[in-house]
Amino acid sequence: MEAYSGFAQVYDELMSDVPYEDWRDRICDAIASFGISRPVRDAADALESERNLVLDLGCGTGTMTRLLYEKGYDVFGVDASEEMLAAASEKSRAAGEEILYLCQDMRELDLYSTVGTVVSVCDSLNYLLDPADLRQTFSLVHKFLYPGGLFVFDCNTDHKYRDIIGESTIAQNYEDCSFIWENWYDEEARINCYDLTFYLQNPDGSYRRFEETHYQRGFEDTEIRSLLQDTGFSICAFLDSDTGAPPTPETQRLYVVARAEK
């Protein structure tokens, strides 16, 4: 399965209700409160330049990457989907933004320098289906973070997949595309599968049909806390992403700010 191949063509439209700007502002507040990066693209020396670098891990079509760039950060994006990166690059090129995008699997992250901040939003980490893969990703993020650097991310909980969207079907129409999103949940594996069928309108008014299958795994707060501690992080903030309060059994998305210790 290659996630986000045909889906990359309609991803931005289907995600139009995601509060990216709110998430961006929250990330900027976290960096200002706990981090070492500053919104400066031309640093005085190499070490300062590394401290100010921000990586958007699992950047997709670059929405968060570009929003952080607008705030002045020296940001670049990494994603495993060439199609999503092509869309991100085209948007940045059209806007005159000098943003680097790299095609890498986050489980094999390999950067050219350390960075001051790593962000990962909108369920990117939930595509890691094995806790060992999540541990490996956390370890690599720590490896490439400048000492004291921040890792800011979100992830869906098992409760969201098991009790909210599992076994549900979602359908929606847009001006030039439509989609059907069918979910089923494997409780033993704690993995949610969604079969996506979407129709994209051609210039002549006809439609092309695409089908993709995506798999995501839910994580619990105790699991995330343990893996962060094991891979060298201290936790600065650990919240329900929607309420801003400490997580509860009803939390659907976790928001985490962690610092890389020396």
CA distance linking residue 177 with residue 204, whole number of Å: 14
Cα 251–59–82 angle (5° rounding)?
A: 130
- In this structure, are 247 and 209 located in the same domain? no
**Mutual orientation of helices 20-34 and 63-70 as an angle, nearest 10°?**
60
Q: Is 80:103 a contact under the CB 8 Å cutoff?
A: yes
Phi, psi of 175 (to 5 degrees): -60, -40
- In this structure, are 148 and 231 located in the same domain? yes
- In this structure, are 81 and 197 located in the same domain? no
1 belongs to a structural domain? no
- In this structure, are 197 and 76 located in the same domain? no
Enter the tokens of residue 95. 């806007």
Domain count, the chain: 2
- In this structure, are 152 and 80 located in the same domain? yes
- In this structure, are 112 and 202 located in the same domain? no
CA distance linking residue 252 with residue 111, whole number of Å: 31
User: In which domain, by residue range, is 87 found?
Assistant: 6-158+219-260
- In this structure, are 69 and 121 located in the same domain? yes
- In this structure, are 90 and 148 located in the same domain? yes
Enter the tokens of residue 222. 């105790």
251 belongs to a structural domain? yes
- In this structure, are 144 and 97 located in the same domain? yes
- In this structure, are 90 and 197 located in the same domain? no
| 21 closest CA partner among 9, 13, 33, 29 | 29
- In this structure, are 177 and 150 located in the same domain? no
CA distance linking residue 5 with residue 10, whole number of Å: 10
- In this structure, are 81 and 164 located in the same domain? no
111 belongs to a structural domain? yes
CATH number at residue 125: 3.40.50.150
CATH number at residue 184: 2.20.25.110
Tell me the three state secondary structure of residue 66. helix
Enter the tokens of residue 38. 């500053």
Instruction: Tell me the pLDDT of the chain (262 aa) as tens digits.
Output: 345 556 677 777 777 788 999 999 999 999 999 999 999 988 778 788 999 999 999 999 999 999 999 999 999 999 999 999 999 999 999 999 999 999 999 999 999 999 999 999 999 999 999 999 999 999 999 999 999 999 999 999 999 999 999 889 988 888 888 889 899 999 999 999 999 898 888 888 888 888 889 999 999 999 999 999 999 999 999 999 999 999 999 999 999 999 999 7
CA distance linking residue 53 with residue 69, whole number of Å: 11
Angstrom CA distances, 91 to 53, 85, 98, 214, 226, stand at 21, 10, 11, 25, 38
Determine the pLDDT at residue 3.
52
- Dump the DSSP string for 107-150: GG---SS-EEEEEE-TTGGGG--SHHHHHHHHHHHHHHEEEEEE
| End-to-end Cα distance, the chain | 38
| 147 closest CA partner among 35, 13, 2, 60 | 35
